[in-house]
Amino acid sequence: MKNFWNFRLSRFVLLLALPGLAAAQSGDPEPVSETASTTYLFPINPGQPNYLAGTMGELRSSHFHGGIDIRTNNRIGIPVLSTREGYVSRAQVSAFGYGTVLYVTHPDGKVSVYGHLDKITGKLGAMVKREQYRRKTFEINLQFQANEFPVQRGDTIGLSGNTGSSQGPHLHFEIREDNHVLNPLKFGFTEVKDNIPPSGQKVALKTLDLNSRINDRFGRFEFTLVKRSNQEYVLPFPILAYGRIGVEILGNDRMDASTGRCGINYIEMDVDSQKVFSQYIERVDLEETRGILALMDYKTSEMRGKRFNKLYVDDGNRLPFYLTKDNGIITVRDTDRQVNITLKDESGNTSAVRFRLKKTPPTSEIRLSTSRTARLDYEVMGNTLVIESKPCENNQLDLFEQGKKQNVPVAYRSAQQVVYLIDLNRSLPDSVVTCTGTLTFHFKDVVPSATEYTYYSDHADVRFPARALYDTLFLNATHYVDDGREFFVIGNRTTPLHQPIQVTLKPTLPQFPARNLAVYRREGLSYHYVGGDWVNGKVKFNTQELGEFTFLTDTIAPSINRIRLDRNGARFRIRDGRSGIAYYEASLNGEWVLMAYDFKFGTLQSDKLDPKKPFKGDFELKVVDRAGNERIFKQKIL
C-alpha cells in the first residue's frame, strides 16, 4: 500500500491546529482543585525547572494554540512521562500536525496529549511499528481499549522529538476534557516559573463607520507604545478621534529564564474607568479552530505576520469568551476618552497600556504626516470603499453604477491627497472617474455571512455555505487572459473564510483535462496547488482561500537525492517544485520498507522492522507527485 497524505492547506491547518475557541469565563481564573494539582505530574523532568516556548490559547496564524510547548534545550530523545495513571487510548503517526502523538485517558475522564514525539517506547512502540508494516503505511491512527496499554503516573511513554509540524525540538502537552483543551498551567505545576508581566508593543485604532476618524483620517492606524516601566506602556500623546472606534493590541508574554514569546490569556479594557471589554482564554474548543480569524486583524496577519488582538467584537465574531459593553466599541463624540488596557498572564502578572482619545470632529482639511503624493488607488475596509487620489483643480469624482452617474463629495483632503468614502451598502460602483484617471471595479454581488448563498456567472459559480464568512462580502470577481493563460479572480486573499467554499470554473480557452492539469492559486509570484475535478468541461474544487486562480500543468517528476544508503539503512531527500508530493513507497528485495517522512526537511528515513537485520539486496524508492509524475530510484546494496 502507498503512503498517502493530503498537502492541502485546510488539512495541514486542521492537523496543526487541533485547538479552537475558548469558552466564556468571568472574573479571575479559578484554580484547579488540590487533588488535581497534586495528582498530575509534569511530563518532562518533573521537579526540575522547565521552560516554555508556547502557552495555551496564544494566537497562531489560523488557530488558538491548544496546550503548552515544553522546551527540551533543542534536544531530541528526552523521556516523556505519563502525567497520571490511565491507559493509552490513541496513538497516531503523521508527517503533519502533532507528528507522532500519544493520547492517555485518565480515571477522571480527562485526556493528556503528548505531541511531536521522536519515538513511542516499550511494547506500544513495537506494536505501532508492526501495524505500520502490516498495513504498509507510515501514517497511522490507532485506537485502544482500557485494558490494552495501561500506564502508571511517571511511566516513560515516549521520547521527545521534532516530528510533524514542529518548528524545533519540544514537547507539545495538552490536558483535555469534553472536547476542550484545558490550560495545563492551572494544574499546579511548580516546574514553570513566571514572574515577568506581559508586554505591549503596539496599539491599532480603527474607524468603524463612514463618519469616524482617527487623527482626522478614515482607516486603521498603528501606534508604537512607549515603555515607562516593566508594567506600564503608554502613548505619550493623545490620539485625535471621533465616532465609533475599535482598539487592537499587539503584545506578548515571557517567562523566567526563557526567550520564548508566549500569548496573553487575559485582556481587559476600561474606558473612563468603566469596563467595556474582557477576554478570557481558559478552555479551547477543538471543533472551532478557525474562529481565531475573527479575533485577529486578518489582513495584517496575512500580509505582515503581525497578530493584533481585537478588543472589540465584530458582527461575524462568534467566539464565546467575551464580556463586553457595546461589543467593546468606543464612541468618541462629546468628550475625550481615557483608555486603560490590562494584560494578565496565568501567574497573575499584570501590565497596563494607557492612552487618551481626544475628541476632534471630522474636518475636510487635514494635515498628513507624510509628504508622499497619493496615486489613484482604492481599498475596501469593512462596508466602505476608500478612494485616494492626487488633488485636482475641482477634486470631482464621478461614480458610475449600471449606467447611472453620480457625484461623490470629498471626505477630506490635504495638499498631497484627496480621499473619498463610499458606503458599499448603498452603492456597488462599476467605476469612478477623477481628473487623475479611472478606477474600474468588479463588484458582482453582496454575499451574506450567515446564510447559504451561490453566486453564478459565465466564468465561475461560487457556493458559500452558511457561516462560511465572518462578515458581509462585497464580492469582486473577474476573468482575464494574460500571455495565453486565463485567470479567475474570486474575492481577495485578505478576506478570511470560516468554512470551505465550492468553486466551479468554466474555462473559455481550450483545456484538455489530464492528470497533470490542475487548478492553482496565485499568491504573489508563487502558485499553490489546489487540484479540482473535471466534469463536462468544468472544474470543481473546494477552497478556504479566496484570491486568483488559474490552470497549470505539471510535467516534472519529483527529485530524489540519496543522503545515505547502506546496510544500516536508507535516508533520502525528496522534493517537488509544483504540485507537491502525493505519495512514496520503498521496498527491499520486493518487501515493503517503512520510511518515516519529515516534510519540513523533505527527508525520508528508513525504520526497519527488525533492527538487527541488515539492509542488503535490491532497494527501490518510488516518489509520485499530485500530477501523477513519478520518479524511481534503484540501487543494489551489497
CATH number of the domain that residue 240 is part of:
2.60.40
Plot region of 508 (φ>0 → left; ψ -120 to 50 → alpha; else → beta): alpha
- Stretch 264-293: mean pLDDT, rounded? 91
Q: Work out the pLDDT band at 369, boundaries 50, 70, 90.
A: low
In this prediction, residues 45-66 reach a mean pLDDT of 90
Has residue 493 been placed in a domain?
A: yes
Q: What is the DSSP string of 44-90?
A: SSTTS-B-EEE-TT-B-SSSB--SEEEE-TT-S--EEE-SSSEEEEE
Name the phi and psi angles at 418, rounded to 5.
-125, 135
Q: Give the whole-number percent of the chain exceeding pLDDT 70.
A: 93
Are 573 and 547 members of one domain? no
As a whole number, mean pLDDT of residues 238-251 equals 98
473 and 388 both lie in a single domain: no
When pLDDT is averaged across residues 331-335 and rounded to a whole number, the result is 97
Which CATH number characterizes residue 64's domain? 2.70.70.10
**Does residue 411 sit in the same domain as residue 487?**
no
What's the confidence (pLDDT) of residue 26?
36
Q: Give me the pLDDT at residue 460, please.
A: 97
Cα–Cα nearest to 217, from 417, 502, 22, 483: 417
Which letter does DSSP use for residue 376 in this model? S
Same domain for 27 and 168: yes
Residues with Cβ within 8 Å of residue 41, at least 6 apart in sequence: 81, 82, 83, 84, 153, 154
At 399 the three-state DSSP class reads strand
The answer to whether residue 194 sits within a structural domain is no
**Residue 489 domain boundaries:** 445-553
- Would residue 599 count as lying in a domain? yes
Question: What are the two backbone dihedrals, phi and then psi, of residue 134, each rounded to the nearest 5 degrees?
Answer: -65, -40
Same-domain check for residues 516 and 547: yes
Domain count, the chain: 5
Closest by Cα among 344, 259, 281 to 64: 281
Round to the nearest angstrom and report the end-to-end CA distance of the chain.
27
- Rounded CA-CA distance 287/58 in Å is 17
Q: Are residues 142 and 234 in the same domain?
A: no
Q: Give the pLDDT score at 373.
A: 57
Instruction: Summarize pLDDT for 539-565 with one digit per residue, the tens.
Output: 999 999 999 999 999 999 999 999 999
User: Which 8-state DSSP code applies to residue 582?
Assistant: E
Q: Are residues 425 and 505 in the same domain?
A: no
CATH number assigned to the domain comprising residue 452: 2.60.220.30
Our measurement of the distance from residue 381's CA atom to the centroid of its chain's CA atoms, rounded to an integer in Å, reads 21
The answer on 465 and 408 residing in a single domain is no
Is residue 590 within 8 Å of residue 634, measured between CB atoms? Answer: no
Q: Edge-to-edge, what's the strand order for the sheet holding 526-531?
A: 443-447, 473-482, 485-490, 547-553, 517-523, 526-531
Residue 294 inside a domain? The answer is: no
Tell me which residue has cell 496564544.
58
Q: Mean of the pLDDT values across residues 207-216?
A: 96
84 and 159 together in one domain: yes
Q: How many CB atoms are closer than 10 A to CB 393?
A: 6
Q: Looking at the structure, do residues 568 and 596 belong to the same domain, yes or no?
A: yes
User: What is the pTM (predicted TM-score) of this model?
Assistant: 0.89
Report pLDDT digits (tens) over 413-440.
998 899 999 999 999 999 999 988 999 9
| Domain edge (last residue) among 131, 159, 187 | 187
Strand partners, 490: 477, 547
Average pLDDT, the chain: 91
Same domain, 419 and 460: no
How far apart are the C-alpha atoms of 452 and 468, rounded to whole Å? 8
**Residues paired with 279 in a beta bridge:** 267, 322
Q: With respect to residue 193, please indicate whether it lies within any of the assigned structural domains.
A: no
326 lies in the same domain as 227: yes
